[in-house]
Structure 1
Amino acid sequence: MPYTNLTLSRIPNNPSTSPTAKGDPQIYLITLRKAPENRISTIFAQEIIRALRDVERMVEAAGKDEQGGSVGAAVIIRGEGNKFWSTLLHTLLDYPFPTIALLNGHTFGGACPLALAHDYRVMNSRRGFFSMPPVNIGVHFPGIGYLARLKLRPEIAREMLLEAHKWTGKEALEDGIVDQIAEPEDMLDAAIEVARKWAPKAKMGVYAVLRQELWGEAARIFQSISYVHHRRTVLPPKVKI
């Protein structure tokens, strides 16, 4: 079934290996294209999940490597526009392959926990802010601060949740919010490099369960409140996001 609001493509194999090299990790790119700014809806959330499950099936269909293990894979998710927005947090935290968020523009509001749910984050070095303003707009749902608390230093999590601080790419890198920054024209290549580096770690089939050891507390709370499970936020925003 074709996708309506996104595209799914496979990144070509590493040119340093044979195009048909058995066991070469598979890197997939999901580009969100729901105009005007990738706002979430139940249907959109389900479509993104379908794309993620399609990747799992394609990796499984690829068979085993020469040692009999999985070929390994990683997924890069990016927004086509300047806003990276979704609430597929539990799906990402429980995903069997490494995930990389490509933050090509503003990462604002709900995009922040979504980005933090990925294993790695690559941000635009020239434009765009990373900002989570629930304190300014009067919005709350259980677990909204879990990933910030678990993944960031306490003072950075406080700035994010209670002060609605805006980080540039350089500042986000310095504070450990993102793993890498890159020039706009180099961002996809940077994300692909990260994906190729870590995709083999999924070969043994324990990537998701080991991730649960780190962030399982957040995964469980997001499972209970995410749009994927047809639940709404406890306190809706008091202003337009």
Structure 2
Amino acid sequence: MQFLEASREQGIVTVTLSRGKVNALNESVIDEMTACIRDLAVDPAVRAVILTGQGKFFTYGFDIPEFLEYGKEDFLRYLTKFTNFYGALFLYPKPVVAALNGHTMAGGCMIAIACDYRIMVTGKARISLNEINFGSSLFAGSVEIMKMWLGQKNAEIAVYTGALYSAEEALGLGLIHEVAAEEDLVPRARRIAEEFAAKDGAAFGSIKKLLRGPLAERIRERERASLLEFVDIWYSEKTWNLLKEKQIRS
């Protein structure tokens, strides 16, 4: 794998995103992540998965400079892959723990909230579904999952303002489950993964479908329309100019 590193220990696989200084998401990254979790899902030796990143970012989100070169059809193709990925993660049959090692922004936040459990490093790291600050909309799935974790009121504040939350603030909102010092992050994520993995795998997957299946159905009904609206807003003149100003090179 070019952008992912996977290590396995006693049935728990740690998948680390490693792409440049901000771990920006592009089509190749999502293709790799999709293939990786698909393979791990059918591997009977894998009992749980930990997702994390290299460096000071879990992921910045979309690789804006790259996507500014995409036409609408190509961008829609990528968005479809991306939403399919976090949709698969949301209903993943095995436990998934997100060890948020640094900034977790936009598309990165969408991936994180699709996981079962999130532990975030203390310090300067921030987490946000901050698309509105780029003049961009959201996807039906990301909004519904935010509402699931935060409730309607706090979800509205989070996505309307694009606020950047510290680990402690995110914990108070219910956006993450725990905070940890940098040196404790991965060991703690592993302990949580081990607790989940000790449960019966078939029962875990069944209960997860019961808990999340109805919401996933509602998301599927609205996701495509939200993608089309996202693309229309993304390619508007005002948003295009904002994106050019805010782009960060990976």
SS at match of 1:127: coil
Provide the residue aligned with 1:151 in structure 2: 149
SS at match of 2:34: helix
In 2, Cα distance between equivalents of 1:201 and 1:233 = 39
8 Å contact 1:108–1:131 — kept in the other structure? yes
- Give the number of equivalent residue pairs: 211
2:168 to 161, 167, 170: 170
**Which 4+ runs in 1 deviate beyond 6 A?**
none
AA aligned to 1:75 is: V
In 1, Cα distance between equivalents of 2:206 and 2:100 = 26
In 2, Cα distance between equivalents of 1:35 and 1:232 = 30
Is 1:199 matched with 2:197?
A: yes
2:40 to 50, 55, 59: 55
Provide the residue aligned with 2:31 in structure 1: 46
Which whole-Å deviations, capped at 9, do the CAs of 1:141-182 have from their partners, x for residues lacking one?
431311111221333212211122221111111221111111
Is 1:219 matched with 2:216?
A: yes
State the identity %. Answer: 27
* CA apart distance, 1:109: 1.3
Provide the residue aligned with 1:77 in structure 2: 51
In 2, Cα distance between equivalents of 1:202 and 1:146 = 28
AA aligned to 2:156 is: R
Provide the residue aligned with 2:15 in structure 1: 30
Is 1:90 matched with 2:87?
A: yes
8 Å contact 2:93–2:208 — kept in the other structure? no
Which whole-Å deviations, capped at 9, do the CAs of 1:106-145 have from their partners, x for residues lacking one?
1111111211100000001122011222222221243131
CA spacing shift, 1:41–1:125, aligned 2, 3 Å: same
8 Å contact 1:83–1:111 — kept in the other structure? no
8 Å contact 2:128–2:165 — kept in the other structure? yes
The alignment's TM-score, normalised by the length of structure 2, stands at 0.75
Name stretches of at least 5 consecutive residues in structure 2 with no aligned partner: 62-81
AA aligned to 1:199 is: A
In 2, Cα distance between equivalents of 1:218 and 1:113 = 15
AA aligned to 1:55 is: L
AA aligned to 2:94 is: F
AA aligned to 2:56 is: N
AA aligned to 1:4 is: Q
8 Å contact 2:23–2:57 — kept in the other structure? yes
CA spacing shift, 1:120–1:162, aligned 2, 3 Å: same
Which whole-Å deviations, capped at 9, do the CAs of 1:54-81 have from their partners, x for residues lacking one?
32343x2x4xxxxxxxxx7110001113
In 2, Cα distance between equivalents of 1:4 and 1:224 = 33
Q: CA RMSD in A?
A: 2.6
CA spacing shift, 1:74–1:224, aligned 2, 3 Å: farther
8 Å contact 2:41–2:92 — kept in the other structure? no
8 Å contact 1:84–1:106 — kept in the other structure? yes
Which whole-Å deviations, capped at 9, do the CAs of 1:2-39 have from their partners, x for residues lacking one?
x111111113x4xxxxxxxxxxxx21100011224222
CA spacing shift, 1:35–1:223, aligned 2, 3 Å: farther
CA spacing shift, 1:222–1:136, aligned 2, 3 Å: farther
In 1, Cα distance between equivalents of 2:28 and 2:221 = 17
* CA apart distance, 1:217: 5.0
8 Å contact 2:127–2:164 — kept in the other structure? yes
2:113 to 95, 113, 116: 116
In 1, Cα distance between equivalents of 2:96 and 2:207 = 14
1:99 to 81, 96, 99: 96
